[in-house]
Amino acid sequence: MRRFICWILLAVGAFAPAAGVSAQGEAGSIGLRLLEAPTGRRDDPRARSYIIDHVHPGGSISRKVGVKSTSNKQVRVTLFSGAARLVRGQFVPSEGADTNELATWTTISPEAIDVPPGDEVVATVRIAVPRDASPGERYGVAWAQLPKSTPESGGPSQVNRVGIRIYLSVGPGGEPASDFVIDSLVAQRIKDGTPVVVARVRNIGGRALDLSGSLRLVNGPAGLSAGPFPAKLGTTLGLNQSAPVTIHLDKRLPDGPWDAKITLRSGLVDRSASATISFPESQGAAEPVKVVPPSSGWLTIVLGVLGALVLLFVLLLFLRRRRRERVD
């Protein structure tokens, strides 16, 4: 029986030059990071951490990754691709080399490398999409794995590996747009009394989302304000999926009411909403509160101009009518 320790790259700080993950075992320790992103995605923080792209059937892409050893001895690292899926707001890799369509399209060269101590070796991940591939988004992982180790005292063997997520959209034409909506906010108090806000989010776009963001509280009791409080990382939404995004607040916050203003983002797409919430006095959850999206700046201007034109038109009709009355 094997015991797997899988390290999957989650959302990291935006604009990191190259993000990575690491794992350590008896054979040594390794890190894995993405070394390049497409020019068109240079400003997208997700593309600096994950392999994300849109490919036409028959097309291909490649990315360079760095395998680094932090061990004091040379380590043998195996590189391979595996399947993944999105389940209940989580990116879930399959165990080992379990495969799906994307995994069969993905090759990593070299397949095995000896990494000197303290050094980094570059490998290439290449994805070749067949001409008859059907449209849709696929998910996978590019893995780097240390040799299997068995504890001296016996017991189950251990496999240590690190991976970089792959989000691949396949289809003709341009890439499907990413989009999402924030439906509601729920104020809760968990068992230890900590106030928590849970935002229900729906993916209404054509790409998977990795959500991050923050929440601010204003106009609270005695005019108090608080935050911003960061959203808990790790929520990944597939197409047409919805899931909660959780934000833990300060225990010292009074119950409210508060005007909650939340902003969430995935890559270059961000959405904001607000609602008035109050936390329960004890453990439990309040009723969900439907949020109000912010009014768009251009829409406000347009409505203002239309309102002014309507008032001017009414004024002109009034003046014209008064003039006729005087003539009569």
41-96 pLDDT, tens digit each: 888 989 999 999 999 999 999 999 999 987 788 889 999 999 999 998 999 998 76
For residues 77 and 115, the answer to whether their CB atoms sit within 8 Å is yes
Q: Percent helix, strand and coil across the chain, each rounded to 5? A: 15, 50, 35
How far is CA 115 from each of CA 57, 63, 306, rounded to the nearest angstrom? 35, 19, 67
Environment class of 225 (CB within 10 Å of its CB; exposed 0-12, middle 13-18, buried 19+): exposed
In three-state secondary structure terms, 142 is strand
pLDDT at 216: 97
Q: Domain map of the chain by residue range?
A: 2-170, 180-290
Question: What average pLDDT does range 132-148 have in this prediction?
Answer: 93
Q: What is the percentage of the chain residues whose pLDDT exceeds 70?
A: 78
User: Is 260's pLDDT higher than 80?
Assistant: yes
pLDDT of residue 10: 30
Among the CATH numbers 2.60.40.10, 1.10.287.470, 3.30.1480.10, 3.40.50.150, which is that of 180-290? 2.60.40.10
pLDDT at 13 over 60: no
**Same fold yes or no, 2-170 and 180-290:** yes
Start-to-end Cα distance in the chain: 103
Alpha helices in 50-181 (DSSP H): 101-105
pLDDT, residue 208, reads: 96
Two tokens, residue 234: 């790790």
Instruction: Give Cα 29 distance to the centre of its chain.
Output: 27
Dihedral sign computed on CA atoms, order 74, 75, 76, 79: negative
Asked whether the beta carbons of 227 and 277 are under 8 A apart, the reply is no
Q: Which helix (H) or strand (E) holds 149?
A: none
Distances (CA, A) of 201 to 44, 61, 92: 21, 31, 19
User: According to the model, what pLDDT value does residue 70 have?
Assistant: 79
Average pLDDT, the chain: 84
Q: How far apart are CA 298 and CA 300, in angstroms?
A: 5
Q: How far apart are CA 42 and CA 38, in angstroms?
A: 6
Domain spanning 2-170, CATH architecture = Sandwich (2.60)
pLDDT attached to residue 165: 96
Place of tokens 């080399």: 97
pLDDT of residue 40: 85
> ω into residue 116 within 30 of 0, thus cis?
no
Which of 20-24, 52-56, 113-117 bottoms out in mean pLDDT, i.e. has the lowest? 20-24
- Using CA atoms, how far apart are residues 67 and 32, in angstroms rounded to an integer? 5
Alpha helices in the chain (DSSP H): 101-105, 297-327
Structure tokens at 16: 């990191």
Q: Which residue has the higher pLDDT, 318 or 225?
A: 225
In this prediction the pTM is 0.79
